Structure 1
Amino acid sequence: MTSRIPETNLQRQLTQERHRIHLIGVAGSGMSGIAALLLELGHEVSGSDKARSVETDRLRLLGLRFDQQHRAEDAADAELVIYSSAIKEDNAILASARAAGKPTLRRAEALAAIMAGKRGIVVAGMHGKTTTSAMAAHVLREGGLHPSHYVGAEIPILGSNAHWNPRGEYFVAEGDESDGTLRFFHPEHALVLNVEEEHLDFYADLAAIDEVFLSLLEQTSGMIFYCGDDAHARRLCAERPHAVSYGFAENADYRGADIELQDFASVFCVLRRGEQLGEITLNVPGRHNVCNALGVVALATELGVPFAKIAKSLRQFQHARRRFEIKYRSDRFLLVDDYAHHPTEIRATLATAKSAGRNRVLAMFQPHRYSRTKALSKEFGRAFDDALQVVVTDVYAASEAPIPGITGRVIADEMMEHGHRGAVYQPRLDRVHHEMGNMLAAGDLVLSLGAGNIHEQLSLLAADLVIAEKLKEIVGDAGDVRLYEPLSKHTTLRVGGPAQFWVEPRTEASFA
C-alpha cells in the first residue's frame, strides 16, 4: 500500500518546510522541473534515472545528488519519494519506499501541492501546452507579476523549465492530461487549448478524456479561458461561469484578425469583444501559434497586464526547445526539429513549414508509442500531405511493450493507401539521415518529427551538411558534392556502402 502525506499537510511540507526527497525518473522534462522547484524551496534532493540529460547536469550544479542506477539504498534516508508515470511498480526504490511505509507521490500530485500555495494557472490540452505555458509565464513575468512556472521543456527565454519565485502570487503550470492527473489540480484559472482523442493507451475513449477535463474545470475557482475554434473545448467550457473564449471566430471574446503569416513570424490584430486592442508581432511561426498567443493575450489582459507590455513580450518570445527549432540554416538548406507526434500536431507543423517559402518540404518521422500508432494509424496516413517525401522509421516505445504487427511500416502503408507517393519506410533509425540525405536538393526544408530521439538523426544530417557545403565552396562549378553516395554504384563488383561525402568532377579537366 502507498503511504500518503495528508493533503492538508502536503502543501505546507513542500513549500514551508525542508525535507529529504528522492525523485525516480529525474532526467525527464517533467521530473527535472519538480527537482528544480524542490531545490529552490530548500529541500535536500536526490534523483535517479537510467538516462543522463542536460537538465540533470544543470540540476547537479544546483545541488541534486544524481545516480544512473535505481538502487534502494540511495533513497534509504529519504522522507518522501516522488515518481514519474513512466516508472514501473516493481522499481527497486519505489517498492522499498512503500515497504518501509514512506510517503510516495506521483509527479502531478507533487506539482499540484507546490502550486496550492499560490494562485494557480493551469494550461491544458492535447497540443501546444508547452509553447503556450512558456508564453504565458514570459508575458506575466514581463508584465511585472513575478510568476513561478513549470513547463515541460527547456525554455531559453525563461532560463529553465521550472522556477519558484517567492515574490509573485501566480504560478503558471503545464498540465499533463496523458495519465489522468489533471484531476489533482485546483487552480484559480485554467487555459484550455484543445481536446480530442489522444493517449488511448490510458483512456478508453473520448468520454473518459472528457471526465478528466471536466474535473479540472469544476475545480477551477476563477476564469476559464478556452479556444472557441476547437469544437470540443467549446462544448466543455462555453457554459461555465467566468468562461472567456479566444480564437478567430467572429464571436470570440478575444479575436485574432488581419493575420499575416511570414516565414518565421506572424503579425495580427487583437480585438476584445469587438474593440481593437492593437497589433502583435509574434516571432514564432504558424497559425496555430497565433491562436496560442491569443489565449495568452486573453489571460494576461484579464489579469491586468497592459496590452503594450503584452505585445512587447510576445515580440521577444522565443520557442521552447524542439518546437519548430531551427537546427541548420544556409542559402541552400533549412533543417527544423519539432516535437509533433500526433496527426493534428503534424498537420499544423507541416503547414507552417510549407508557408516558409522553400522549394520542397521533406520529413523524417518516428512514431511515438505502439498504442498511439495502432489507434491513429489512418489519421497518421492523412497527416503528411504537405510533405513531398517522408521517411518513416520504427516506433519509439516510450516504455511500452511492442504490439505484434505494429511498426512504422503501418504508417508508411497508410500514407500510400491515402495516395501519398513519397512515403519510405526505413526500420533502422541510424539509417534515416542517410535516406534523407539521398533525397536532398537545394532549396529544401527538412523536418524531424516525433517525441522520441529522431532529432538526433537531424543533428547528424546537419553536421554533415556543414562539411558538404564547405566542400561545395571549394569545388565550385567544377564538380558535384553529394552526401551518402552508395559506393556500389561506382565499383566493378557493385559492392560498397555509402560514402559520407562524395565529390565528383564534372569534366576530366576538373581532376587537375
Structure 2
Amino acid sequence: MREEVRAKIVEVLKSEGARIHLVGVGGTGMSALARLLIGAGYRVSGSDLHASVPVEKLVGEGLVFYPKHVGTVVLESDLVVYSSAIGEGNPERLEAQRLGVPSVRRAEVLAVLAERRQSIVVAGMHGKTTTSSMLAHVLRGAGLRPSHYVGAEVPILGASAGWDGEEGSPLVIEGDESDGTLVAFRPAHAILLNIEEEHLDHYGDLKAILKAFSQFLDQTKGKVVYCADDENTALLCSNRKEVISYGIGETAAYRAVNITARNFVSEFEVLRDGIRLGRVVLEVPGFQNVRNALGVIAMAMELGVPFEAAAAALLEFRGATRRFEVRYKSENFMVIDDYAHHPTEVRATLAAARSGGWKRVVALFQPHRYTRTQSLQAEFAAAFADADLLFLTDIYAANEEPIEGVTGEAFAAAVEAGGHPKVQYEADLRKLRKIVAREIEPGDLVITMGAGNIHEAASTLASELAWYEGLKKTLSPESALLRQEPMRKHTSIRIGGPAQFWFEPASLDDLAVGLRYAKRHSVPVTFIGRGTNLLVRDGGIRGLSIYLGTPAFSKVEFDGERITAGAGAILRAIVAAAKKKGLGGISFMEGIPGNLGGALRMNAGAMQGWTMEVIEQVKTVDRDGNVRTYQRDQLEVYYRNVPVLRDEIAIEAVIRTKPLPVEQIEEELKGYSKKRWTSQPAAPSAGCIFKNPGPAPAGKLIDDTGLKNLSFGKARVSDVHGNFIVNDGGATAEEVQTLMKTIQQRIKDRHGIDLDPEVIIIGDEL
C-alpha cells in the first residue's frame, strides 16, 4: 500500500463518527469489514444489487443499505471502499473521484484498522478460514476477547467478523493473497500455513508469490508461526528471527505425533521441543486440519494461552461454513459441502471424506476461474483419486473472460485421461443435481467442492434426502417410499424421467400422513394411476408421486348389483369379477387400460361407454388427509374431466351394474377385445394422443394426411391407428412431444383444425 493511501485512511479513521461507504457490501469480505467498522463506531453505508443474508443482519446493526449502484450514495461519505470485484467504471467510484473523496481497496482499510489491535494475520494458500476461525475461538475461550475477520460465516463465532475487546486486544484476520493486498498488512504476529503456485493471473509465477510473502513477513512486527512441513514456507522462514515452527516432521518445534483418524475425528499428541504437552481431539476431519490446529496451538501458547485451554476449545470447534460442512447425515447418506477449488485442497478434502468409512465417496466439482483451470489442469487430473464417482460441471468464471480451449468439457476429458475410471460431465448445474440424485444409493457420502455456486447442489440434495427419510420414518413398514423412481416403469408408453419421491401407501392412514407431510413442507403431490394416457417429461416429476396400487386401495367387493372398488383396482379385473357374478353393463371398461382412480379423474371412456355413467358414489381424500363422499349428482362431469377430482383424489367408488347372462357378457367382451386388438397397436403407447376435434376423429385426420409411420427418433405414429404414438424402444418424451407438434402443424395446415392433446403431459423438461 502506498504511504499516501495509508495516510488518507489513517486520517479518516481518526475521526469518530466518520462515514464510510462500501461498494459491493454484499460480498463475504465486504460485509465482514462493514461489521468491524460498525463495531468500531463508524457510520457505515453500503451498496449492492441484492441484499444478502449478512447484509440484512447488518442493516439491523446500523448499516445504511442501497440496493443499487448510483453515484449519489457517496455524497456525504468521508471514505469509499471497494472490493476487487468492483471495476473502475462503477458509478460510485467515479463520483467519489469527481468529489475528491478517497477511494481505497478493502484490504487497505482493514490493514489500517488492524493497527488499533494486536493483529494476527493468518496467511497461506489453503486452510486460512479454518485456521483463523480456530484461533479466534481458542483465544475467546481463553478469555482474551479477540476481534476477528474471516472469509466465511462461522457458527461458533456468531458471524464472519466481530469487533470486541479494547485497544491492544487480539484481532485475528484471514489474510487474502489473491490480489496482492496481503502486503498492505503490518501485523503484530502471523501464521504462515503454506505457499504454492496459485493466483497466477495476478502473480505470474512462484517467484513473484514468494516475493510478496517475504515482504509480508518483513512487515510482521512480532512472532511468525510457520508450517515446517511446507517446503516454501520453510524456505522463507527457517532463517528468520522470531519464528516458531510447527508440523508433523521431526524438525518442527511444535509437533503432532501418534495421529489417529476415525469417523471424521482426529486425535493426536502435541510435543513442544520434544516435551509432551497433552492430547488433542479434533472434530474437523483431515490431516490438513491436524496441521492447522497445531499452528493455532503454537500461536496461542506463544501468546500465553495454556495448552489445556487451547485443547478444550479445539474440542468444541466445528468449522466454518463451506469448510467440510455437513449438510445432511443419516445412517444411509451423508452430504458435505467444501470450498476446495485448488488441487491440493481437493486431494486433502477427498482424503478426509474417504477416512469416514462410507461405502462410496461421490464427488461433485466445479472448476473455478479459467486461469486457474488452465494453469493447474495437470495437477487437477491427479487430484480426484479418492472419489469413487466424479461429476464435473462447467467452469465458474468469477468475472473472468473465457479462454479459448479452456472449458469444463476439456477439463473433464483431462481428468478422465489422467486415469479416473468414473467421470461424468454435465455443463448445466441444475441437470447435474438431478443426475447425482438418481445415481446415489445408501452408503454414499456425497461431497460438493468449488468456490462458485456448486454448494447449491449440496443444499438441494440434502433437502431431498432429509424430506425423504423424514417421511419414511413416519410411515408403516408396509408402505413403499422410493427415491428417484424411473417413471418408464410405471407408464404404458415406457417413457418418463424419475419421480423424485414414489409413494405406495399401504393404508388410508399412511396416505393421509403422506399428504399432510407434503403439504406441511410445500412439496407438490401427483397421483399416478396405471400410467395409461400419460406422458411424463424426461426431467421427471418433482415432489411426491402417489400410486394407489396396494391391496388397501385395490379391493373389489360386491353388494347385490353394486360394486365397491378401490381406486387402484384395475378396470379389466373389475369387469372380470363382475362377469363371474353375472353382472354386466360395464363391459366397455375392458377397453380402458388403467385403474379406476384414473378413469374417474378423467371420465375415461371406450367403446361408446363412459366411466361416470355407471358411478353412483365416489369417496375422495383431500391434500389435508380429509375424507369426503360424493353422490353422482353432486359431481360436475365433462368430456375427459371431473373438476372436483383435480383437487381431491378418488380413493373408492360404487359402481352400478345390471344382471346379464354370463354368455352375453362374454360375447360383449370378445367383441370389444377383438375390436381393440385389431384397431390398436400392440407396441407401447399412451393410448389416444389427441382428442377427437368434432368434424372427424383425430385418427382419421392423421390417416388422411398420410402421417402413419411418421417418426421422430424412436417415437412413431402407429401404422395400426393414426391417433397412437408408439415407443419403438428407447424413445424420449421430448421425441414424442416433437412428433405431436409436427402432427398438429400438419393437420392445421391441411385441414385448418386444431388438435388438442388427450394424453396428459406432466413433469419437468430435462
1:344 paired residue number: 344
1:493 deviates by 4.4
How far off its partner does 1:502 sit?
Answer: 3.1
Q: Does 1:139 align with 2:138?
A: yes
Letter aligned with residue 61 of structure 1: G
TM-score (norm 2): 0.64
In 2, Cα distance between equivalents of 1:45 and 1:323: 29
Conserved? CA contact 2:23–2:82, under 8 Å: yes
Matched residue type, 1:402: P
Deviations 1:342-398 (A, max 9, x none): 111111111011001111100111111111111111211111110111111111111
Residue 6 of structure 1 and its aligned partner are, at CA, apart by 5.2
- Which residue in 2 is equivalent to 1:372? 372
Q: For 1:395-420, what per-residue CA distance to the aligned partner results, in whole angstroms no more than 9, with x for missing partners? A: 11111122233222122111210111
1:505 and 1:511 in contact (8 A); partners too:
no
How many angstroms apart in 2 are the aligned matches of 1:433 and 1:377? Answer: 24
Say if 1:284 and 1:278 are closer, same or farther in 2 by CA, change over 3 A.
Answer: same
Instruction: Return closer, same or farther for 1:11/1:282 CA change in 2, 3 Å cut-off.
Output: farther
The 3 A distance-change label for structure 1 pair 504 and 48 is same
Structure 1 CA distance for aligned equivalents of residues 203 and 326 of structure 2: 34
Would you say the 8 A contact 1:15–1:117 is kept in 2?
no
Secondary structure at 2:121's aligned position in 1?
strand
CA distance in 2, matches of 1:237, 1:12: 34
Is 1:18 equivalent to 2:24 in the alignment? no
Gaps of 5+ in 1: none
Q: Is the alpha carbon distance of 1:489 and 1:367 closer, same or farther for their aligned partners in structure 2, counting shifts above 3 Å?
A: farther
Distance 2:177 2:124 in 1: 7
Q: Is 1:171 matched with 2:183?
A: no
Aligned pairs for 1:26-425 (under 5 A) are 26-167=25-166, 168-425=168-425
- Give yes or no for contact 1:362–1:446 (8 Å, CA) kept in 2: yes
Alignment check: 8 A CA contact 2:12 2:78 kept: no
Pair 1:482-2:474 in alignment: no
- The letter for the 1-side match of 2:351 is A
Cα deviation for residue 326 of structure 1 reads 0.8
Q: Can you list the C-alpha shifts for 1:237-263, whole angstroms capped at 9, x where unaligned?
A: 111111111000112000001111121
Structure 2 portions without partners, runs of 5+ = 507-547, 553-766
CA contact (8 A) 2:120 2:188 kept: yes
- Quote the offset at 1:478 in angstroms: 6.2
SS at match of 1:202: helix
2:504 and 2:549 in contact (8 A); partners too: no
Taking the aligned partners of 1:152 and 1:25, their CA distance within structure 2 comes to 15
Instruction: Name the CA shift for 1:377/1:505 in 2 (closer, same or farther; >3 Å).
Output: farther
User: 1:503 and 1:412, CA in 2 relative to 1: closer, same or farther beyond 3 A?
Assistant: farther
Compute the RMSD of aligned alpha carbons: 2.2
| TM superposition shift of 1:210 | 0.9
For 2:549 and 2:82, the matched residues in 1 are separated by 66
Is the Cα contact below 8 Å between 1:482 and 1:503 reproduced in 2? no
Decide whether aligned partners of structure 1 residues 478 and 145 sit closer, same or farther in structure 2, where only a CA change above 3 A counts.
closer
- Give % identity: 50
Whichever of the two has the greater Rg, that structure is: 2
Number of matched pairs: 510
SS in 1 for 2:267: strand
- Give the AA of the match of 2:56: D
Residue 477 to residue 450, structure 1, CA distance change in 2 (3 Å): farther
User: 1:455-481 CA deviation, whole Å, 9 max, x = no partner?
Assistant: 111111111112322454437476461
Q: Which moved more, 1:177-186 or 1:375-384?
A: 375-384
Deviation at 1:13, TM superposition (A): 3.1
Query: Cα 1:511–1:452, aligned 2, differ >3 Å: closer, same or farther?
Result: farther
**2:437 match: secondary structure:** helix
Given residue 395 of structure 2, which amino acid in structure 1 is its aligned partner? V
Bigger relative CO (Cα 8 Å, ≥ 6 apart): 1
- Name the CA distance, whole Å, in 1 between partners of 2:164 and 2:317: 20
Question: Aligned with 1:386: secondary structure?
Answer: coil
CA distance in 2, matches of 1:238, 1:181: 24
Per the TM alignment, residue 503 of structure 1 is displaced from its structure 2 partner at its CA by 4.5
**CA distance, structure 2, for counterparts of residue 96 and residue 489 of structure 1:** 63
- Partners of 1:147 and 1:170 within 8 A in 2: yes
Q: Counterpart of 1:460 in structure 2: which amino acid?
A: T
In structure 1, what is the Cα distance between the partners aligned to 2:493 and 2:158? 56
Whether contact under 8 Å (1:3, 1:102) holds in the other structure is: no
State the secondary structure of the residue aligned to 1:394: coil
TM-score (norm 1): 0.95
